[in-house]
Each structure stands twice: as C-alpha cells, then as structure tokens.
Amino acid sequence: MSTTELVVASKQGNNEALGRLLEQYRGYLLMLSHRYLSERLRRRVDPADIVQLTYLEAKRDLPAFRGETPAEFAGWLRGMLKNNVATAVTRHVTTKKRSLKREVDASPGRQGNDSGGGGWIQQLPGSTTSPSGVAIRAEAVMSLLAALHQLPETQAEAIRLRYMEGLSLSEIVERMGKSDTAVAGLLKRGLQKLRSLLNDQDCPWI
C-alpha cells in the first residue's frame, strides 16, 4: 500500500497498516529527536526512547487524528515528539535531584558511539568492515549528522528519504505531501548547504 493508503487503513483500525506506517517515519522522528535533545541531555535520554514513547501515544490517540494525508500524519507525530522532548527536558534539566549542571564529562570520546542516528545510519552506502574503514566511516557519519541538524527540517527529511532510505522522487512527494518541484527544490538546496557545511569532505552519497 502507498503511504496515503496506510494512513487511511490505520484510521480504519488496521493495526498492521499502522505498524508499517509508523515504521516509515522512524528515521524522521529519530532525526528530530536527536536534533531537539542537547548533547548533554542525550547522555541521559536516548532519542530512540523518545520515538518509542511517541509511537505508543500515536497508537493510543489515533482516533483523535483528524488528518488524511502523510504530511498531516507526520506533523501530528512531530507535535507529540516535541511534547515528549519537552517533558524529558523538564524532568532531567530543571529538577535539582539529577541536575545536569553538576555533571562532568569524563569520556570525551563518547561522541563517536552516539546512537542518535538510529537504524538509518547503517544504510549509508560504501560501508566497510575493516577497522580503519569503520573509524573513517563513523567519523564521516557523525559529520553528516551534525550537518543535517543545521538544515531546515524539510530539507533534512528530503535528503534522508532520498539518500538514506533510497526512495524515489515520487515516493518522497507522497510521503512529504509536497509537489515534485517543491521536493526537487528541497533536495537541491539541502545538498548545496550540506556540501558547504561539510567543506567538500569525501561524502559520496551527496
């Protein structure tokens, strides 16, 4: 089924369709969760946990969803995700019991193991299993993630769908609820900005 058909079927009570629909937005929500949570907060709150909580709420509150399109569904999920991030910030930053201000980072090398990219990092092309290759690839991936976080959400999502999930232009158009021209523009501007941010690093997927 297309994404639009999955939205309709999910609203009609098809749990299998809902599962497939939510899975399509996992990478998008992981990217947003990673962006919304500060680096220090990500040491306490796994972005994947925020996404999972959002999924549980989506399943519970689906009858309240009034939209009909994939874009509306994505916006609905994004709103719930933002609320969950705000709750996490309140719980872990403003409470005196576990104040992040008293923390000292004793492991500066931790960044390289950050799982904020979720399952879609491993989908980047050109992966290698040699130790040196893995290290280089991990560094490149982290640079790409950092650059993606500096793009507008729509540009970052279009790039993720095209180059990380391998979707066709027509599939991206349906998923994002935008025209062919709009999606092409997002990809063009996003790639130009990425190349600028990455300073011409060796990133063959862009």
Q: What CATH number does domain 1-98 carry, 3.40.1790.10, 1.10.1740.10, 3.50.50.60, 3.90.1580.10?
A: 1.10.1740.10
Check residue 109 and give its pLDDT.
Answer: 44
pTM assigned to the model:
0.60
pLDDT averaged over consecutive 10-residue blocks of the chain (206 residues)? 91 94 90 82 86 94 92 92 87 56 46 38 37 48 71 87 83 90 92 79 48
For the stretch 70-76, contacts whose Cβ atoms lie closer than 8 Å and that sit 24 or more positions apart, written own/partner, are 70/3, 70/4, 70/7, 70/174, 70/175, 70/176, 70/177, 71/176, 71/177, 71/178, 72/177, 73/7, 73/21, 73/25, 74/25, 74/28, 74/175, 74/176, 74/177
Check residue 193 and give its pLDDT.
Answer: 87
Annotated domain spans of the chain = 1-98, 120-206
Q: What CATH number does domain 120-206 carry, 1.10.10.10, 3.40.190.10, 3.40.640.10, 3.50.50.60?
A: 1.10.10.10
